[in-house]
Amino acid sequence: MRDDADRSAAMTVAPSTSPQRLLTWLRLGGTALLDLLFPPRCPGCGRVGDLFCQNCRTQVEWIPPAVCDRCGRPTAHAGLCDDCRGRSSSLDGIVAAVVFAGPLREAIHSLKYGNNRALAGALADYMTTAWRRHNHTVDCIVPVPLHVSRQAERGYNQAALLAQAIGPALGLPVNEKLVARHKATRQQALLSTAERRANVKDAFSCQGTATGLRIVLVDDVCTTGSTLESCATALRAAGAANIWALTLARARWLPGQPAPDAV
């Protein structure tokens, strides 16, 4: 069926059209046809025709502005929360945009496990808005990498898709090669806080030098922050000057409370 559409599109093109223009036409025609055959469906409510519908967007809960300078969780007082005080970290701080709940949780699930790559742009908008509320100066964006085996299985890295959308919006280059995940870790969502830390310990390595670089790590969800911390440790060892993290969502978890279990 797609071949028929491609053929009919080809027949409507004037003979003088350049091959490049013809390819563009075919590509656009193919995308339109795919949309017609498989229209987007909102991951929050199933509504047909919307990537992420307006009704579901109104249910997205922003992280309130008063947060801990380090872990980014809501706190009643300025500076560091009680959990972060007296604890060292390789991260300068974590900026999370919205709460990992409701339709947004479904949207992330669809981006991550449902091959719904088209959602990345809409979800990255929350991240650029959250990042602009802060005055952190950075040189580049580094998405948290997947292990090669997981990336091969999934076909893409959702953190890299988000980073590719954020980069142009913030005018920052994206470096997908700087950090590699050389240890095939278990899924963090299934583990306790202590297990999460052990699971990702020494999982990352910096490919080359990061001397003096001011970096923002990008990931989809942050729960305890163990993955970001491990990634930041590798970058810090390679000489990075500042390492911030920007995540789309953060599991609901207040300082002083036990860490949430599965997300």
Of 127, 110, 98, residue with least CA distance to 244 = 127
Nearer to Zn ion, 55 or 115 (CB): 55
Q: Coil, helix or strand for 153?
A: helix
The contact mask relative to Zn ion for 49-68 (x = CB under 5 A, - = no) is ----x--x-----------x
Applying CB under 5 A, the span of 69-77, 116-124, 148-156, 158-166 interacting with Zn ion comes to: 69-77
Q: Which of 9, 60, 63, 71 is the binder for Zn ion (CB under 5 A)? A: 71
Q: Apex CA 127: angle with CA 258 and CA 234, to 5°?
A: 65
Q: Which of 26, 33, 45, 238 is the binder for Zn ion (CB under 5 A)? A: 45
Tokens of 90: 């390789």
* Longest CA pairwise span in the chain (Å): 72
Q: Which of 9, 60, 63, 70 is the binder for Zn ion (CB under 5 A)? A: 70
The size of the chain, in residues, is 263
Question: Which residues ranging from 150 to 189 are in contact with Zn ion (CB under 5 A)?
Answer: none
Q: What's the min distance (Å) between Cβ of 43 and Zn ion?
A: 7
The contact mask relative to Zn ion for 77-106 (x = CB under 5 A, - = no) is ----x--x----------------------
- Are the beta carbons of 57 and 49 closer than 8 angstroms? no
The reply on whether position 191 binds Zn ion by CB under 5 A is no
Q: What's the min distance (Å) between Cβ of 121 and Zn ion?
A: 17
Which residues, in sequence order, are CB contacts of 262 under 8 Å at separation 6+?
Answer: 189, 190
Nearer to Zn ion, 87 or 155 (CB): 87
- Are the beta carbons of 141 and 124 closer than 8 angstroms? no
Nearer to Zn ion, 84 or 146 (CB): 84
Question: Helices in 79-142 by DSSP H: which ranges?
Answer: 102-113, 120-132
Site of tokens 């872990």: 71
| Binding residues vs Zn ion (CB under 5 A) | 42, 44-45, 47, 53, 56, 68, 70-71, 81, 84
